[in-house]
Structure 1
Amino acid sequence: MSNVNPPGYGYPNDPQQNPYGQQPQQPQNNPYGQQPQQPYGQQPQQPQQPYGQPQQPQDPYGQPQYGQPAGGQQPYGYPQQPPYGQPQQPYGYPQQPQYGGPMGPGGPGSLPLASAGDRFLARLIDGLVLLIPVVIISFTIGAGIIGYVIIGLLYFGYEGAMMLTQNGQTVGKKVMKTRVVDAATFGRPTDGGLWTRAAVYGLPVAVYCVGSLFMLVNVLWQLWDKPLQQCLHDKVAKTVVVKEG
């Protein structure tokens, strides 16, 4: 009998071929330096960092960014950069408010606190402005309780109205180039703060003898108050007086 099997019926024509007509796959040797391919859709595994060593941050393309900490933060020892569009402040100086820092003079771009001499002269000029109405009240009504009450209301109304309408200045402060500002922001005080300041300064005049003594202590308080050189009415209203120009 012949050893040749008939074609078909699952028998190959060539006895050297496998039963299904497929060539056996030969193992391929990887060329030197080439990495084996990963299955489709899987990323190659990155080598793990040894325990206790910090990991380098990766950029979107997988390259480590040397010299920068993880999370995109600035390295230690370098000042934080302000957002785009905001001016950079000089190193070592905080951002200053409108009329300077909360501790008074010395900051870049700040206005110094008004001296005691400038404030006394400003009060003297305001006293001369109010002298004529005070004299008229004293001669017409007398130096009784009603007269003191009216004079106290006069000081209160003058101080409060000038502060609100003249941006923190009276006639005397305009002449001496001083201005009342908020102690926290060094901007314009609130209307309530200005009225409170005027009340503490002017209304005690309505009390006979005691009011005059309180006013004297009030205006002298700035001589020993540190560091903002505030009078008592400044402390209650949380204001300070600065020098302009």
Structure 2
Amino acid sequence: MTVQPGWYTDPAEPSTQRYWDGDGWIGAPLPADATPPPGPPPVEPEPEPSSAPPAGLSAPERSGTTTTATSPTSPTSGLPGLPGSPVPPGSPGAPPANGVPPWPGAAGPMQPGPAGLPSPGPVPPAWGYPPYLFPVGEPRPHGKALAPLGTRIAARLIDIGAVLLLNVVVNGWFVWRYAQEVGPVYREIVRRSVAGNSSTDGLPPVSPQADWLLLVILVIAAALWFAYEVPAMANTGQTFGKRLLGLQVVSLGDAEHLGFGRAARRWNTLGLPTFFWYCCGLGFLLQLVDCAFALFDRPLRQALHDKRAQTVVVRLDRKTTTASAPPTATDRSDTSGGPTP
């Protein structure tokens, strides 16, 4: 995922903000509550090295011929913290081994972290520090906090109930006809099970019409789900359940709204396995794994259909009047976030 250039809160120092040019941090930091310039900061000229020796130094010191700290025979050479001594690997100020940054996204040398722990250099806003060092504030896409998993599950259950009601109205007759076709077979199986007979010989035949009815039921169910969810996601990023609980699906790119293409890709990953429900529940198992992926994904808590469409579910601030208001500088500087539920 490519992080767009712009002003973001410095993960190494949350009280400041710096400019990310797509490859690394540039320019001097600004206070977190300050209004940044519209573009990148001006490049500061590097000071030219002075060839004149500092005043007050003796001739040996000006010529650099002293051997107190650099001579191999000096009793103080090789001690940590003294001139001429090597910097131990992994300590603050030591260069990365073989010139490789600590992990993808690190753009500078190691810097001292809290309590003396070594922490990586500047990183893009989408990357967090490794969890084995120390936790940082969770991401805030478009200045909004990530939606709690419990609220997301409740919103999805509301949407399932709404789609189920639509199926009762549109799909009810086909379900009733299918039950009439397969009902005698299941009733005979239950009767034999109660009697302790596990034989399958002599069961009533199932009409070929039952297979067509099952296919029609699944097609209508998927079409109703598509019509319920995709247009709403494309326009506002909210279904009925998400709107009721104050959630919204936003894009990880520049545009906050999804559009029809991205909303359709998001639904395809979750909705198309509906056609495999007749295969011993294989479709339901795929959908369950898709949604359960959000329980383990960090830091954005994305389900598989979110990763497919590059979207994320956020919680809307109920104090705001519009759900799609652009983020302000204050929103971008707020990196506080509670622990992941």
Q: Structure 2 length as normaliser, TM-score?
A: 0.41
Q: CA deviation at 1:79?
A: 1.9
SS of the aligned residue for 1:141 comes to helix
**Alignment correspondent of 1:79:** 28
> Unaligned regions of 5+ residues in structure 2, if any?
1-25, 38-124, 128-136, 179-213, 318-341
**Alignment correspondent of 2:157:** 124
1:135 matched to 2:168:
yes
CA, structure 1 residues 102+172, in 2 after alignment: closer, same or farther (shift >3 Å)? Answer: farther
SS of the aligned residue for 1:181 comes to strand
**Alignment correspondent of 2:332:** none
Matches within 5 A, 1:49-64: none
1:147 matched to 2:95:
no
1:242 matched to 2:314:
yes
Matches within 5 A, 1:45-194: 79=28, 87-88=35-36, 102=126, 105=138, 110-142=143-175, 144-165=214-235, 167-185=236-254, 187-194=256-263
Q: What code does the residue aligned with 1:79 have? A: A
RMSD between aligned residues: 2.9
CA, structure 1 residues 114+135, in 2 after alignment: closer, same or farther (shift >3 Å)? Answer: same
SS of the aligned residue for 2:272 comes to helix
Q: CA deviation at 1:235?
A: 0.6
| Cα distance in 2 between the residues matched to 1:136 and 1:244 | 33
| Cα distance in 2 between the residues matched to 1:102 and 1:112 | 14
Q: Structure 1 length as normaliser, TM-score?
A: 0.55
Q: What code does the residue aligned with 2:152 have? A: R
SS of the aligned residue for 1:184 comes to coil
Match of 2:272 among 193, 203, 218: 203
> Unaligned regions of 5+ residues in structure 1, if any?
1-76, 90-100
**Alignment correspondent of 2:298:** 226
**Alignment correspondent of 1:27:** none
| Cα distance in 2 between the residues matched to 1:184 and 1:114 | 18
CA, structure 1 residues 113+159, in 2 after alignment: closer, same or farther (shift >3 Å)? Answer: same
Deviations 1:112-141 (A, max 9, x none): 110110110000111111121222455311
CA, structure 1 residues 87+215, in 2 after alignment: closer, same or farther (shift >3 Å)? Answer: same
Identity of aligned residues (%): 33
Structure holding more strand per residue: 2
Q: What code does the residue aligned with 2:240 have? A: V
SS of the aligned residue for 1:187 comes to coil
